[in-house]
């Protein structure tokens, strides 16, 4: 809840000001409400969806008091987010691979570290694969997390072939009977086409050991990138077929509404949200908790 303070303050203050002293919900008030939702980065589709629901209830005379608007927004948001809240946990004794993708700086490595800590604490055995071989710093950073969380890591020097590092990581995990490999991947921006080809290659190579691998592919998104995030979801999903999304840095932005925009853009599960840099600042995505934190 604290992590979303900035978004909550902005939305709540705006809605409060909007309804202050108002006796009826008229078209002007609805237009102003629409502007508030767009400003919170809910995006066009989610905003339209929420406004349609609210407007219908106003037209049917179910919603008359401006003071009840906040509850109506909460309900509409909940309807959008609920289907996206699909928790995922590793399976014991199956050696699955969770491939993490996303552009540099989105919070991929940090999220991997947080996930490893969480699942290790829950009793799963975890191995990290340092597949972001493009940046030397990325390998060091992941190795640092592995030491901190005390899980094994498979890494090679910078410049090594990402697919081959992750192939080795998966093979090692299978040999050791480890529950889950969390695979880091490259996220450099300047050669987008090349990046997608590399990610596809990683998928192909992992599938040689088991056609079911990688078992999960999650995109890590920085909430602060706003509506740009939607483009990233579509691009990565088209290239590799995502099975989940993690949205980071919700603590640092007043644009928490982007979660609704992402939920509306594609029917993909939102797995976790990041609300800080610390190892404990990762929450399984819950629609209720999120709406509670966003619209108080």
Residue 108 interacts with ligand GDP (CB under 6 A): yes or no: yes
- The verdict on whether residue 55 carries a ligand-binding annotation is no
Residue 106 interacts with ligand GDP (CB under 6 A): yes or no: yes
The neighbouring-strand residues paired with 217 are: 99
The neighbouring-strand residues paired with 221 are: 247
On whether the CB atoms of residues 208 and 232 are closer than 8 A, the answer is no
Query: 54 or 270, CB closer to ligand GDP?
Result: 270
- The verdict on whether residue 104 carries a ligand-binding annotation is yes
In terms of C-beta density within 10 A (0-12 exposed, 13-18 middle, 19 or more buried), how is residue 20 classed?
Answer: exposed
In terms of C-beta density within 10 A (0-12 exposed, 13-18 middle, 19 or more buried), how is residue 107 classed?
Answer: buried
Residue 110 interacts with ligand GDP (CB under 6 A): yes or no: yes
Query: Which of 31, 52, 197, 277 lies at the binding interface for ligand GDP (CB under 6 A)?
Result: 277
Dist. CA 195–CA 239, nearest whole Å: 10
- The verdict on whether residue 250 carries a ligand-binding annotation is yes
Query: 252 or 284, CB closer to ligand GDP?
Result: 252
Residue 129 interacts with ligand GDP (CB under 6 A): yes or no: no
Query: 6 or 70, CB closer to ligand GDP?
Result: 6
Query: 108 or 255, CB closer to ligand GDP?
Result: 108
Minimum separation from the CB atom of position 132 to ligand GDP (A): 7
Q: Is 191 helix (H, G, I), strand (E, B) or coil?
A: coil
On whether the CB atoms of residues 118 and 145 are closer than 8 A, the answer is no
Query: 50 or 169, CB closer to ligand GDP?
Result: 169
Of 61-69, 195-203, 248-256, 261-269, which part binds ligand GDP (CB under 6 A)?
Answer: 248-256
Dist. CA 293–CA 8, nearest whole Å: 7
Residue 102 interacts with ligand GDP (CB under 6 A): yes or no: yes
Dist. CA 66–CA 21, nearest whole Å: 9
Residue 2 interacts with ligand GDP (CB under 6 A): yes or no: no
CA distances to 24, 30, 43, 100, 182 from 54, in Å: 14, 9, 16, 37, 42
- The verdict on whether residue 84 carries a ligand-binding annotation is no
In order, the DSSP letters of 204-267 are HHHHTT-TT-SSEEEEEEEGGGTTHHHHHHHHHHHHH--SEEEEE-GGG-S-TTHHHHHHHHS-
Cα–Cα nearest to 172, from 198, 151, 141: 151
Residue 280 interacts with ligand GDP (CB under 6 A): yes or no: no
Minimum separation from the CB atom of position 4 to ligand GDP (A): 11
Cis amide linkage into residue 108, ω under 30° from 0: no
Residue 275 interacts with ligand GDP (CB under 6 A): yes or no: yes
Residues between 173 and 212 that touch ligand GDP (CB under 6 A): 187
Upper half-sphere CA count for residue 94 (Cβ side, 13 Å) = 12
Residues between 250 and 269 that touch ligand GDP (CB under 6 A): 251-252
Q: Which residue number has the CB closest to ligand GDP?
A: 274
Of 81-89, 157-165, 264-272, 274-282, which part binds ligand GDP (CB under 6 A)?
Answer: 274-282
Annotated binding residues: 102-109, 184-188, 248-251
Annotated binding residues for GTP: 102-109, 184-188, 248-251
In the complex, which residues of this chain contact ligand GDP (CB under 6 A)?
Answer: 102, 104-110, 141, 187, 248-249, 251-252, 274-277, 281
């Amino acid at each position: 809840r604290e992590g979303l303070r900035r978004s909550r303050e902005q939305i709540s203050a705006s809605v409060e000001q909007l309804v202050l002293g108002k006796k009826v919900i008229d078209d002007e008030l609805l237009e102003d409400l629409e502007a508030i939702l767009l400003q919170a980065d809910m995006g066009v589709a989610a905003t339209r969806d929420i406004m349609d629901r609210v407007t219908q209830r106003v037209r049917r005379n179910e919603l008359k008091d401006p003071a009840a608007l906040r509850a109506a927004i909460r309900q509409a948001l909940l309807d959008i987010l609920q289907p996206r809240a699909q928790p995922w946990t590793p399976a014991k004794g199956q050696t699955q691979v969770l491939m993490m993708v996303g552009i540099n700086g989105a919070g991929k490595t940090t999220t991997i570290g947080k996930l490893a800590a969480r699942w290790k604490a829950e009793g799963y055995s975890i191995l990290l694969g340092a597949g972001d071989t493009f940046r030397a710093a990325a390998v060091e950073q992941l190795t640092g997390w592995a030491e901190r969380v005390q899980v094994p890591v498979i890494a090679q020097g910078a410049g090594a072939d990402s697919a081959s590092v992750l192939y080795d990581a998966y093979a090692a995990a299978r040999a050791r009977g480890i529950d889950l490999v969390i695979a880091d991947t490259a996220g450099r921006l300047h050669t987008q086409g090349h990046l997608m080809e590399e990610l596809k290659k990683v998928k192909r190579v992992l599938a040689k050991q088991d056609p079911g691998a990688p078992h999960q592919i999650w995109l890590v998104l920085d909430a602060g990138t706003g509506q740009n995030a939607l483009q990233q979801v579509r691009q990565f999903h088209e290239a590799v077929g995502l099975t989940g999304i993690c949205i980071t840095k919700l603590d640092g932005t007043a644009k928490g509404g982007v979660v609704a925009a992402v939920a509306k853009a594609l029917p993909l599960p939102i797995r976790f949200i990041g609300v800080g840099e610390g190892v404990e600042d990762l929450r399984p995505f819950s629609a209720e908790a999120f709406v509670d934190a966003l619209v108080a």
